[in-house]
């Protein structure tokens, strides 16, 4: 992991961000000086880098795999046919390790020494979310030995089970830090929750819930654990674990920047046909006015807007997760349906659709049958989490919806390790695109 050895305190060049002034307002320290750098000057860029990465290639690849979008031009037309190599994931791997995890480690280590507990809590929460995302796409990843610098040039790959254990541990520790006082330095520079500690605590439970749900196939008790976490998480969409991008050319949302600069992706007709079959009004918001390339509708697209908020985890997601966990743990149909319908309702509301549209939609038996099944839940979650990477995890866990590969006989079920990892770290596992991550026993 050669690139991890370079300590980059604020480096967003690799993800196309030229200026982040509006995200760093109020921080005057020199971010290139490790003596004077403040926790806030590390936190804001780490949040930005994480949100950007989650909503760029991770979102685009997963959207292609679950056929919400499709690559239709140049390089992305090849990706649409699963023509992928390790070199295609170099930037994503580096962005996670350098711009996110390295900055968070520096911030968390420094604030732990100083007793600045709320920064410690945020650092551990964001680290847990980053590790969860990485292991869900790459399975085993370096972590326990990843930041030793020149003392360890070939870190070992920790198993997914160990990474998941670390995720849950970090979140528990984060809640402990949040329950303490701030240690004399109030949280600032937080672009996700505006320094609101109560909401950060809820986010720790939301991340725990996602992690437990992913582990459901490994043990049924994880569905019960997920339910407990959901009940301590968000009470409305106002509390979403979300990052809102700006309206400037350099601070625009990742999808907007991609559509503006590349425009190689368009709406997938498989997804469109599924929405059409249930008269879903979200279709007109998602499809980019029916054009084949989102690049043709950059400034008129109703979903991929310039200042799009990126939901890392949303209340909508948790309501569908709750319905699934209730179903898998023997909950009542009354409770399952309540959560299921709340998921649909919150999705409609977040997109600006009316109560009348929602009521018309759920009046259809195909949407709101007498008995809610797993297929109902995951299909509606697929409709609600458009371009959200979590849809890919849902499809891998459940096989819902049933999809035909764009090419060959199988849809990819993981990402490849970067070519530099393969060349520089002899511990890198040998994998293919159709190997499964360890929780994917479907």
What confidence tens digit (pLDDT) does each residue in 206-239 have?
A: 999 999 999 999 999 999 999 999 999 999 999 9
> How far is it, in rounded angstroms, from Cα 414 to Cα 139?
8
What's the pLDDT at 11? 37
* Residue 114, pLDDT above cutoff 70: yes
What is the pLDDT confidence band of residue 245, given thresholds at 50, 70 and 90?
A: very high
Read off the pTM: 0.92
Read off the pLDDT of residues 22-71 as tens digits, 9 standing for 90 and up: 444 444 444 444 445 899 999 999 999 999 999 999 999 999 999 999 99
pLDDT at 17 over 60: no
Q: Is 50 exceeded by the pLDDT of residue 2?
A: no
190-214 pLDDT, tens digit each: 999 999 999 999 999 999 999 999 9
Reply yes or no on whether the pLDDT at 176 is more than 50. yes
- DSSP letter for each residue of 291-344: -S-GGGGTTT-SSS-TT-EEEEE-HHHHHHHHHHHHHHTT--HHHHHHHHHHHH
Let me know: does 45 contact 125? Beta carbons within 8 Å: no
* pLDDT score, position 37: 82
Which of 249, 135, 231, 210 minimizes the C-alpha distance to 385? 210
Whole-angstrom Cα distance, residue 268 to residue 274? 10
The per-residue pLDDT for 289 is 87
Work out the average pLDDT over 275-295: 94
* Over residues 66-95, mean pLDDT: 97
**Domain boundary assignment for the chain:** 2-10+38-264+304-312+387-424
Calculated CA dihedral for residues 323, 139, 106, 253, nearest 10 degrees:
-60
Q: 267 near 302, Cβ under 8 Å?
A: no
Distance between CA atoms of residues 328 and 336, nearest Å: 10
Q: With contact defined as beta carbons under 8 Å apart, do 126 and 46 qualify?
A: yes
The whole-number average pLDDT for the span 385-390 is 98
pLDDT of amino acid 291:
81
Averaged over 169-178, what is the pLDDT?
Answer: 98
Asked if pLDDT for residue 104 goes beyond 50, the answer is: yes
What pLDDT score does 36 carry? 56
**What is the DSSP code string of 357-398?**
HHHHHHTSTTTS-SS--HHHHHHHHHHHSTT-THHHHHHHHH
| Nearest in space to 15 (alpha carbons), one of 53, 68, 54 | 53
Q: Which residues pair with 299 in a beta bridge?
A: none
pLDDT digits (tens, 9 = 90+) for 309-360: 999 999 999 999 999 999 999 999 999 999 999 999 999 999 999 999 999 9
Tell me the CATH class for 2-10+38-264+304-312+387-424: mainly alpha
**Residue 81 has what pLDDT?**
98
pLDDT at 290 over 50: yes
E strand or H helix that includes residue 70:
strand 69-71
**Could you tell me which residue, 380 or 18, shows the higher pLDDT?**
380
d(CA 170, CA 181) in angstroms, rounded, equals 18
> Among 128-137, 288-297, 419-428, where is mean pLDDT lowest?
288-297
Task: Say what the pLDDT of residue 33 is.
Answer: 44
- What's the chain's average pLDDT? 93
pLDDT of residue 6: 38
The confidence score (pLDDT) of residue 234 equals 98
Q: Is beta strand 309-313 parallel, antiparallel or unpaired with respect to 241-244?
A: antiparallel
Average pLDDT over residues 389-416: 98
User: Is residue 8 predicted with pLDDT exceeding 60?
Assistant: no
367 alpha-carbon distance from chain centroid: 27
Is the predicted pLDDT of residue 440 greater than 60, yes or no? yes
Positive/negative CA dihedral, 293, 298, 299, 302: positive
In degrees, to the nearest 5, what angle opens at C-alpha 340 toward C-alphas 336 and 343? Answer: 145
pLDDT of residue 27: 47
């Amino acid at each position: 992991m050669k690139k991890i050895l370079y300590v980059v305190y604020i480096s967003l060049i690799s993800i196309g961000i030229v200026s982040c002034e509006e995200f760093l307002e109020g921080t005057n320290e020199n971010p290139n000086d490790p003596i004077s750098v403040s926790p806030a000057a590390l936190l804001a860029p780490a949040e930005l880098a994480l949100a950007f990465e989650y909503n760029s290639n991770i979102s685009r690849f997963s959207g292609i795999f679950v056929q919400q979008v499709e690559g239709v031009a140049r390089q992305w037309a090849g990706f649409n046919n699963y023509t992928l190599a390790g070199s295609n994931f170099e930037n994503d791997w580096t962005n996670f390790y350098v711009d996110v995890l390295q900055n968070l480690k520096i911030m968390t280590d420094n604030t732990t020494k100083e007793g600045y507990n709320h920064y410690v809590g945020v650092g551990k929460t964001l680290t847990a979310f980053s590790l969860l995302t990485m292991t869900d796409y790459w399975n085993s990843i370096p972590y326990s030995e990843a930041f030793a610098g020149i003392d360890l040039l070939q870190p070992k790959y920790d198993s997914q089970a160990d990474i998941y254990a670390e995720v849950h541990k970090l979140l528990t520790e984060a809640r402990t830090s949040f329950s303490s006082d701030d240690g004399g330095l109030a949280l600032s520079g937080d672009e996700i929750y505006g320094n609101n500690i109560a909401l950060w605590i809820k986010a720790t439970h939301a991340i725990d819930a996602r992690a437990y749900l992913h582990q459901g196939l490994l043990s049924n008790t994880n569905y019960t654990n997920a339910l407990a976490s959901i009940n301590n998480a968000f009470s409305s969409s106002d509390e979403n674990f979300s990052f809102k991008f700006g309206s400037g050319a350099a601070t625009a949302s990742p999808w907007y920047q991609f559509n503006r600069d590349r425009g190689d992706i368009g709406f997938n007709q498989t997804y469109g046909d599924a929405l059409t079959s249930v008269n879903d009004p979200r279709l007109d918001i998602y499809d980019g006015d029916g054009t084949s390339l989102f690049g043709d509708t950059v400034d008129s697209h109703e979903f991929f807007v310039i200042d799009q908020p990126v939901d890392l985890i949303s209340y909508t997601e948790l309501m569908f997760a709750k319905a699934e966990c209730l179903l898998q743990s023997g909950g009542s149909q009354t409770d399952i349906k309540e959560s299921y319908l709340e998921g649909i309702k919150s999705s409609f509301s977040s997109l600006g659709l009316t109560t009348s549209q929602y009521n018309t939609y759920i009046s259809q038996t195909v949407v709101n049958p007498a008995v809610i099944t797993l297929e109902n839940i995951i299909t509606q979650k697929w409709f609600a989490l458009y371009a959200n990477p979590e849809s890919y995890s849902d499809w891998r866990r459940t096989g819902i919806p049933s999809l035909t590969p764009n090419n060959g006989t199988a849809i990819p079920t993981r990402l490849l390790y970067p070519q530099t990892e393969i060349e520089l770290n002899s511990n890198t596992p040998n994998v293919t695109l159709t190997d499964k991550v360890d929780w994917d026993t479907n």
